[in-house]
Amino acid sequence: MKKIHRFLGPYQLGQGILRVDDPDLSHQLRSVLKLEPGEMIIVGDGTGTEVHCTIVSYQRDAVILEGISTGRNPNEPARKVTLYCAVLKADHFELAAQKAVETGASRIVPLRTARTVKLHLRLDRMQRIVREAAEQSERGRVPDVTNIVDLEKSWDDAAKNDVNYFFDPSGTAFAGVAKSVRTAGVYIGPEGGWDEKEIDRARDLGMRIVSLGGIILRAETAAVVATYLVAQGQKS
């Protein structure tokens, strides 16, 4: 069966004839994927609603679609996970964000910590990476990416979660998430690890200090593994 491509964006969706004024989408459909009128695609609004459409025609910077059926994307994890991750060097943070979206993150908060080296991110680039990762993994929602925040300022945000996991090799082995948990935070430190004061503060706030086992993972790897375990897993 031929793959039906999925595209996410701030589109106004519905059944019947739809005009989507998005030159990037039009270019992707016509020039990259070379889809012809009559072929089917799925277009989502980035919040979980999506429409199965057939391509009617192309215009210069737009595509005309016919919406056939509307529904909710079935692939979103039931548990909403926010990844609070220290900004990493080079393109490692981009990799961590991309793969975390593929494994279930609903939101990404870049952190400035005591040992953070890189202090800048291009938010527009991060948003594009996250959107493309959501499309690739056939999700219905485009996770939010915030501006960089100081670790101390993230505590209030994390307090809204049902539970927060502060990952560090010194912690107890991660043992899964209770089925009743609907919102969770995943904290991942920088390449040099958390400062001891940061770990103590997280513990004082009631966060669970946990580890991913005896093998020490790179920060970007830990972010992906931890996100998957918290978003998808549960205690037996």
CATH number for the domain that contains residue 147: 3.40.1280.10
pTM: 0.87
Regarding whether 113 and 64 lie in a shared domain, the answer is no
β-pairing, 49-59 with 40-44?
A: antiparallel
Residue 185 domain-assigned? yes
Residue 1 domain-assigned? no
pLDDT at 92: 95
Regarding whether 217 and 113 lie in a shared domain, the answer is yes
Domain tally, the chain: 2
Regarding whether 197 and 164 lie in a shared domain, the answer is yes
CATH code of 19's domain: 2.40.240.20
169: containing domain: 80-232
Contacts by residues 180-184 (CB-CB < 8 Å, ≥ 24 positions apart): 181/79, 181/234, 182/78, 182/79, 182/80, 183/79, 183/80, 183/81, 183/82, 184/79, 184/80, 184/81, 184/82, 184/230, 184/231
Regarding whether 114 and 64 lie in a shared domain, the answer is no
The C-alpha atoms of residue 29 and residue 207 are separated, in whole angstroms, by 46
User: Is the Cβ–Cβ distance between 236 and 175 less than 8 Å?
Assistant: no
CA angle 223, 225, 230 (to 5 degrees): 95
Question: How many Cα atoms are found within 13 Å in the side-chain-facing hemisphere of 204?
Answer: 8
Regarding whether 174 and 147 lie in a shared domain, the answer is yes
- Of the three residues 47, 72, 97, the one that is the final residue of a domain is 72
Residue 59 domain-assigned? yes
pLDDT at 194: 97
pLDDT at 235: 62
Residue 68 domain-assigned? yes
Regarding whether 222 and 175 lie in a shared domain, the answer is yes
Residue 226 domain-assigned? yes
CA dihedral 125, 193, 219, 80 (to 10 degrees): -70
Regarding whether 113 and 51 lie in a shared domain, the answer is no
CB atoms within 10 A of CB 29: 22
Regarding whether 112 and 64 lie in a shared domain, the answer is no
Per-residue pLDDT of the chain (236 residues; tens, 9 = 90+): 578 899 998 888 878 898 989 898 999 999 999 999 999 999 999 888 999 999 999 998 899 999 998 889 888 888 999 999 999 998 999 999 999 999 999 999 999 999 999 889 999 999 999 999 999 999 999 999 999 999 999 999 999 999 999 999 999 999 999 999 999 999 999 999 999 999 999 999 999 999 998 889 999 999 999 999 999 876 64
pLDDT at 234: 66
Regarding whether 155 and 49 lie in a shared domain, the answer is no
User: Is the Cβ–Cβ distance between 67 and 13 less than 8 Å?
Assistant: yes
Q: Which of 125, 122, 111 is nearest to 190 (CA)?
A: 111
